[in-house]
Amino acid sequence: MQGLLAWAIRHWVLTTAALLIACAALGYSLAAPAPPREIRLAVGAAPDSAYTLAAEAYAARLEATRFRVSKVPTAGSVENLRLLREGAVDVALVQGGIAGRDRDAGLESLGAVFHEPVWAFLRADRGLARLADLRGKRVAIGPEGSGTRVLALAMLAANGIGPEGFEALPLGGPEAAAALRAGTADAAILVSARVEGTIAALMRAGPEVALADLTDHADAYAAQLPFLVPVRLPRGGLSLADDLPPRPMTLLAPVASVVVREGTHPQVVSLLVSIMREVHRARTPFAPEASFPNTLTQDLRVNADAERYYAHGQTVLQRWLPFWVAVWAERLFTILLPVLGIALPLIRFGPAIYARHMETRVWRHYDTLRRIEAEAAAAPDGAARQALRDRLETLEGLVARLALPASYRRHIFALRRDIAYVRAKLAAAPGEDGYAPADATAAG
């Protein structure tokens, strides 16, 4: 009995240890690896562009969280997508209407962060009022690799003007504005979320340069180019003092989105979305406060971890602990959860199993004591009773040598008391205390 129980306990201990190790291994396999320490971030070439300013704000906050940030200068959205596909950068801003779910299947969006209105400035002194008037004209549409160029070509194509129908000037920003004011360009199509700088300068360029008002055709553009949404520029929206613009105007705008590669670490995604909320929550000339970031009008599939963040916010640990502390705490919790699922029942039932083992070490001697007591009733002669006394002495010696914790020694004392009781019966004369001689019945 004792050997069987000891074997069962050893088997239980080994099985429990194996289960705990297996559960820990399972938890480790389920836990995401630690986030990378370095993030490669695409940064625009123009120092005052919305892309550059946003990327610099991201970089500053990532570095404050003890990431190493590598800034990769790029020409714009097209190059950003290429670098993302090639794995040369990890995070980049991409203009709406540039990416495609089939071509860019390995990329995911973390959400839109701001509108980027299209500013189509035309030489009004040459009779140009609409994009449809630009056939055969010189139009600054941005350099190769820029999102501005892709969007300008799409808008001109919507007006029936293909790439061969006008002279494309690879100028953007200040260079495009300078060419337009100098008369070497008939029009300049700019995409910019910032109204300061180049946009403000062209709005003040004089009557020879005019901003195209798309109010009458905004719905038609949005129908043909669904990534564009109408945005309103109110009268005096750029300058109340100068009454710029002098009347309300409608522009079209894609949204700029933060794009990452598929498989980006979930905690990096959570951190980036929290940074996006911090940087882009403020109101803009084209959106009220807290409009961005959001997951509307996305060319790419939205990252699942980003969607969870938008739905539920940061985890409790990320909300109250520094980023890297929260990272390791969440990984440890993921590893320990399966272990606790096994350990808690063991903690609950383990003491009971241990107590039974301790008590069984005493109780097994009762089998011997009961046999001695039963044999004593049928042992009338002195020699047989002496042999039973010797067996009792041996049993008591075994019991005396039992090593049990103090809380279980009461069982030893109880057993020794019962041994003394049986010894007292053996000391009585045959026929006393319930014992009868073997031939008592026959003698009667």
Using a pLDDT cut of 90, give the percent of the chain over it: 43
Average pLDDT of the chain to the nearest whole number: 83
In this predicted structure, which of 9-13, 197-201, 212-216, 316-320 has the lowest mean pLDDT?
A: 9-13
Q: Is the pLDDT of residue 431 over 50?
A: yes
Q: Which residues contact 277 (CB under 8 A, 6 or more apart)?
A: 293
3-state secondary structure of 392: helix
**Over the stretch 390-407, which tens digit does the pLDDT of each residue have?**
888 888 888 888 877 777
Q: Which residues contact 143 (CB under 8 A, 6 or more apart)?
A: 75, 76, 149, 170, 171, 172
pLDDT value for 331: 59
Interatomic CA distance for residues 236 and 242, integer angstroms: 7
What is the band of 386 on the pLDDT scale with cuts at 50, 70, 90? confident
What is the band of 224 on the pLDDT scale with cuts at 50, 70, 90? very high
Q: Is the pLDDT of residue 266 over 80?
A: yes
Quote the radius of gyration of the chain (alpha carbons, Å).
43
Sort strands 167-169 and 138-140 into parallel, antiparallel or unpaired: parallel
pLDDT value for 87: 93
β-sheet bridge partners, residue 95? 256
* DSSP sequence for 84-128: HHHTS-SEEEEETTS--TTTTTTEEEEEEEEE--EEEEEEGGGT-
Interatomic CA distance for residues 186 and 244, integer angstroms: 22
pLDDT value for 111: 95
- The model's pTM is 0.68
pLDDT value for 380: 66
What is the band of 444 on the pLDDT scale with cuts at 50, 70, 90? very low
Instruction: Please report, for residues 167, 250, 363, the alpha-carbon distance to residue 406 in angstroms, rounded to integers and kept in the order given.
Output: 99, 89, 17
Q: Is the pLDDT of residue 336 over 90?
A: no
pLDDT value for 48: 79
Instruction: Please report, for residues 40, 232, 239, the alpha-carbon distance to residue 203 in angstroms, rounded to integers and kept in the order given.
Output: 36, 16, 10
Q: Is the pLDDT of residue 196 over 60?
A: yes
pLDDT value for 21: 66
Q: Is the pLDDT of residue 435 over 50?
A: no
- Which residue, among 298, 277, 265, 267, has the nearest Cα to 109 in the 3D structure? 298
Q: Is the pLDDT of residue 187 over 90?
A: yes
pLDDT value for 437: 42
Q: Which residues contact 317 (CB under 8 A, 6 or more apart)?
A: 325, 326, 329, 330
